[in-house]
A and B are shown apart, each in its own frame.
Chain A
Amino acid sequence: MNNSKKNAGQKTTLRRIFRYVGRYRGYLFLSLFLGVLTVLLTLYIPKLTGRSVDYMIGKGKVDFYGVRGIIVKIIVCAAITGAGQWLMTLCNNKMTFDVVRDIRNDAFEKIEKLPLSFIDAHPYGDIESRVIADADQFADGLLMGFTQLFSGVVTIVGTLCFMLSVNAKITLAVVAITPVSFFVAGFISKRTYSMFRKQSAIRGEQTGLINEMVEGQRVVKAYNQRAHVIAEFDEINDRLTDTTLKAVFFSSITNPATRFVNSLVYTSVGIVGAFSVINGSLTVGQLTAFLSYANQYTKPFNEISGVVTELQNALACAARVFELIDTPAQIPDAADAAAPDTFRGEVVLDRVNFSYTENAPLIENLSLLAKPGQKIAIVGPTGCGKTTLINLLMRFYDVRGGSISVDGTDIRKITRNSLRGGYGMVLQDTWLKSGTIRENITMGNPAVSEEEMIRIAKTCHIHSFVMKLPKGYDTPVSDNGEDFSQGQKQLLCIARVMMCHPSMLILDEATSSIDTRTELKIQEAFNLMMEGHTSFIVAHRLSTIRSADVILVMKDGHIIEQGTHRELMAAKGFYYDLYQSQFLGQAI
């Protein structure tokens, strides 16, 4: 049952692969044709060589005419084979790499359309490895499949035919011994598999310890724990060394063992062949040809057994990529969706319900009116739903009940492009793209003039530090800006938003890592820019939000208090307690 399901899955995966390969059909057929041709010619050459030996019957009896003819034939065959092999490689490369490129393009296009709920619920590494590592493995497997599996099968069949065409008895001897080779290889690989698994388990354990103890090396030092930590490391290290020795040794027996089986095949051909020559049913040249077939014959078997596991792996990898491509995309914009360029900024939440998972309600029955030009602040303990609210405003997630509207239109009736263009957003989690600082801060408005860019940069307190960098605004940002401090990154993100003059603004802990002196100055700049525009501010630093027109105090998905700072202080409720707690230090 389970097996048949797996088979059905493999079949659909295979069909999908063929659809991708179908675009390069011509190359596929050419490659298959060349595969057969080159293998047959390759197999023909030992036969020719053998025949040439038969022309050298002995002293003074060599048939030079025959030998010359053979030599010419061998050269022609070799030349055609060489050219054919190269052409075939070109076809295979073209097919494989273009197919993988197409699959990757499709996968990436899907990533850009995935609902946020999917991306948030899956580790980045998992999605990334589907696009990169799995696609790569698939490419390797596909290439190997084309080059080795097909030619291996043709070689085996061809060799058998050639051998049969020369002598049936010896062929039987060869075929009889071959399974021994499989048996030996299978026996060894079964045993080594469990050893390698054990090895990788211990290696994982050690890598875990290494990660911790190298990252935490400073703590190890501060607590004088070096000896203790090294003892712990050595215990795992000794186990690892031991297991690795076993795994490496046993797996390295495979080659000598199969080589030994090959030599048995070779010897049997020798005995049976030599006796046949004496009987007169075989010539010395034919025996020569047989000996080289015997040498070649077992090789494709070993290769194919490797290729089959490789191919199965490749199929599994392809299935994982396809799974990503098949993930449902976000709900497309409605056909009649509006696409205004600017917004007045009246945002209304009407009895909104939302939860990330079906039966864990997070936001319930939340209503809110933000008038154009108002500054709305949202405070509350961790997990109260502040960030979720932003996810809903930006339509990263859709509400489950109720509605959100901007300027009187339900946001589900506005294109995402237009809605998001209306907002400027700065998140706590600073993200910079790789590229120059200029590319980053002008991301939302590439057309901004140099003077304007510098003016805004100065407002955001980044100009002076950017100018100290070796290439100023053209300094590349690498690894999400790891060379910058968290505060500097936040300032860059703020500058990025300030360049676009949005109709509405969302700040989610946008200044949490900026020291309070600078933050005050940034706030003034924001106030100036957002004059007459609506803004939403999430912060846990109460000094950040005190001047808001409306402060929403959220707890467990509900708004429990609402009002200005003064009103809320006078009410002596939750906000009051929260606010007073920061003065506790003074009481102690």
Chain B
Amino acid sequence: MKSLLVYLRNYRKESILAPLFKMLEATFELLVPLVMAAVIDTGIQNHDRHYIISMCLVLVLLGVVGLAASITAQYFAAKAATGFAGALRHALFDKIQSLTFSQMDLFGTDTLITRLTSDVNQVQNGVNLFLRLFLRSPFVVLGAMVMAFTVDAHAALLFVITIPVLSAVIFGIMLATMPLYKKVQANLDQIMNGTRENLTGVRVIRAFRKEADETRHFQENNRILAASQKFAGRISGLMNPLTYVIINLSTCALIYVGALRINTGILQAGQVVALLNYMSQILVELIKLANLIIQITKAAACGDRIAAVLAVQPDMKDGGAELNTDGDPAPAVVFKNVSLSYQGSTGHALEHISFEVSQGQTVGIIGGTGSGKSSLVNLIPRFYDVTEGEVDVFGQDVRNVNAVSLRNHIGIVLQKAELFKGSIEDNLRWGDADAGKQDFRQALEISQAKEYVDKKPGGIRYMLEQNGRNLSGGQRQRLTIARALMKKPDILILDDSASALDFATDAKLRLAIRKMSHSMTTFIVSQRAASVQYADLILVLDDGKLVGKGSHKELLQSNEVYQEIYYSQFPKEAVNE
């Protein structure tokens, strides 16, 4: 949390002035009982109407000045808090965009989104409240005590006793109930999950005839929730009655002491009234303070979560060299004894993989689910670093090349088709910011997207919704392929990115890519034997190991895994038919 304070740096003036003006307001508020005491003890005592009116004007003046001070303070606090939150959001978003793939895997996108949205809001509220109240409340409590001492030191001793007792009760109850409310929240989550499950799984639940069981289960959880709510309510419900009784006991003591002091002529009635006023101010402010502390603790927890992301250091060192692809006879991609294991997992995702791909070749990568196909191609644009071995692109170790330059030469289409809100054109421009009409047409034609894009109102100016959800899965996939083609990459990687296309479209796509004029090295990852069968080189993966490499013919003759995959899709009798 402390590390976040740098983002308040630009609001130093506001962060200091806000609490100061708040204290100013509190000071004026503390003066009010004294003025009223003067009204009673001097004005009324001497029947001085003029004095009374002037004192009441002083009260109004105190109110006006207090209002001005308070509004000024609110403004500075709001300015500092919102400005701080804005700077924090920027820094956090920037940091998230810089995280490497393995760091993204470790955090997961959901929690990063929460931190960027609701956590930042919580921290903003926390800072705002802190600036406004954290000095004010203790100041009023202590101030009331100090004022009491100015009236009468003897009676003020009662304040010295009451304040700690009240604080103990208030904070004790709050501390006791915090874990109880956490429990309530957990119980609520439980029934929320139960409800959601019964909606998402309605077909399975009904097919398995579990309605009655589920209802019983829900009612039991619901009963537990209500019981925990009532229990927490019982404890927190003690707060008001207990503090009320304590403050009244103190009032009684004050009355008695006041009576004694008046009897001996040390105090006047108005002064006792002022003391009684101060006593009632304490309670309100202490409860405010306790609530504030809860809010701040919550905000601090959110702040810690944000700080944890901001503290992450890049785990990949960018190489300095530019990737050089012109006129270089080096092979396009070389894997030298590559192994990969992901952070936080013990097993190997890839083990001792070596192969070499010449420029312009088409490489097919096939294997079952979890065999390591995606892991392998993700190493080429250096999304992950190898654990062992070396990956060379155009003769250069990817770790020696700067990432921007490397990725400028590689077009990769990921398994999950991700598009963004905006026109189709905006999306495609990610591949080439200065593209002309001809470029769009070509990319859409090759990716087999042209036909449906032309049918959309506005053509490439058709607006996509968030995540491109107003397109079908197959349409999205074709557009992500077009986006990659816009780059005119030297290396094109299709990571199972035609899975939602029917066989015919898939085949047309591959043919069109093959016919492209410039010599592009292409990697095709697929579960479909038909998709890789005509590649120049086929890599067969099984459980992270490279168990076969060669042409379709060679593998079909000699490679057992490839045979199994192939014949499971094209049975012998069908092939021979």
Complex Cα–Cα for A85 and B243 (A): 11
Complex Cα–Cα for A434 and B571 (A): 39
Q: Which residues of A contact B263 (CB under 8 A)?
A: 56, 59-62, 64
Shortest CB-to-CB span from B203 to chain A, Å, is 6
Whether B117 lies near A210 (C-beta < 8 A) is: yes
Answer yes or no: A334 CB below 8 A from chain B CBs.
no
Complex Cα–Cα for A8 and B305 (A): 48
Answer yes or no: A245 CB below 8 A from chain B CBs.
yes
Complex Cα–Cα for A420 and B112 (A): 42
Answer yes or no: B564 CB below 8 A from chain A CBs.
yes
Complex Cα–Cα for A71 and B255 (A): 8
Q: Which residues of A contact B487 (CB under 8 A)?
A: 223
Whether A515 lies near B94 (C-beta < 8 A) is: no
Q: Which residues of B contact A109 (CB under 8 A)?
A: 215
Residue of B nearest to A241 (CB): B86
- The tally of residues in B whose CB lies under 8 Å from a CB in A reads 156
Complex Cα–Cα for A49 and B248 (A): 10
Interface string of A378-404 (1 = CB under 8 A from B): 000000000000000010100000000
Shortest CB-to-CB span from B170 to chain A, Å, is 15
Residue of B nearest to A431 (CB): B201
Interface string of B95-129 (1 = CB under 8 A from A): 01111010010000100110011000000100010
Pick from B79, B214, B483, B527: contact of A516, CB below 8 A.
B527
Instruction: Decide if the interface of chain B is mainly helix, strand, loop or mixed.
Output: helix
Residue of A nearest to B67 (CB): A260
Answer yes or no: A327 CB below 8 A from chain B CBs.
no
Complex Cα–Cα for A569 and B574 (A): 11
Which residues of B529-565 are within 8 A (CB) of A? 530-531, 533-534, 564-565
Answer yes or no: A132 CB below 8 A from chain B CBs.
yes
Q: Which of A164-172, A211-219, A310-318, A527-535 contacts B (4 or more CB under 8 A)?
A: A211-219
Interface string of B178-205 (1 = CB under 8 A from A): 0000000000100111011111111111
Pick from B93, B128, B215, B412: contact of A233, CB below 8 A.
B93
Pick from B44, B369, B467, B530: contact of A284, CB below 8 A.
B44
Whether A277 lies near B83 (C-beta < 8 A) is: no
Whether B568 lies near A519 (C-beta < 8 A) is: yes
Whether B63 lies near A74 (C-beta < 8 A) is: no
Knowing A98-B226, A515-B369, say if A210 contacts B113 (CB, 8 Å): yes
Q: Which of B140-148, B269-277, B453-461 contacts A (4 or more CB under 8 A)?
A: B269-277
Complex Cα–Cα for A257 and B74 (A): 12
Pick from B229, B241, B264, B277: contact of A97, CB below 8 A.
B229
Q: Which of B158-166, B335-343, B391-399, B414-422 contacts A (4 or more CB under 8 A)?
A: B414-422
Interface string of B481-518 (1 = CB under 8 A from A): 00100010000000000000011101110110010000
Q: Which residues of A contact B39 (CB under 8 A)?
A: 270, 274
Residue of B nearest to A256 (CB): B70
Whether B79 lies near A245 (C-beta < 8 A) is: yes
Answer yes or no: A281 CB below 8 A from chain B CBs.
no
Shortest CB-to-CB span from A407 to chain B, Å, is 19
Whether B90 lies near A233 (C-beta < 8 A) is: yes
Answer yes or no: A287 CB below 8 A from chain B CBs.
yes
Q: Which residues of A contact B40 (CB under 8 A)?
A: 274, 284, 287
Q: Which of A17-25, A247-255, A554-562 contacts B (4 or more CB under 8 A)?
A: A247-255
Which residues of A70-113 are within 8 A (CB) of B? 70-71, 74-75, 77-79, 81-83, 85-86, 89-90, 93-94, 97-98, 100-101, 104-105, 108-109, 111-113
Q: Which residues of B contact A71 (CB under 8 A)?
A: 252, 255-256
Interface string of B249-263 (1 = CB under 8 A from A): 101100110111011
Interface centre among B25, B79, B197 (most CB of A within 10 A): B197
Q: Which residues of A contact B280 (CB under 8 A)?
A: 292, 295
Interface pairs (29), CB distance under 8 Å: A55-B259, A60-B263, A77-B248, A78-B248, A90-B234, A93-B237, A111-B198, A128-B192, A216-B420, A219-B430, A222-B410, A230-B97, A233-B90, A237-B93, A244-B86, A245-B83, A249-B75, A253-B74, A256-B74, A263-B32, A263-B60, A274-B44, A420-B206, A433-B197, A485-B369, A485-B370, A517-B564, A583-B570, A585-B528
Given contacts A86-B241, A112-B214, A263-B63, 14 further A-B contacts (CB under 8 A): A62-B263, A75-B248, A93-B233, A104-B191, A108-B195, A111-B195, A216-B418, A223-B487, A260-B66, A267-B59, A288-B273, A434-B197, A543-B568, A581-B502
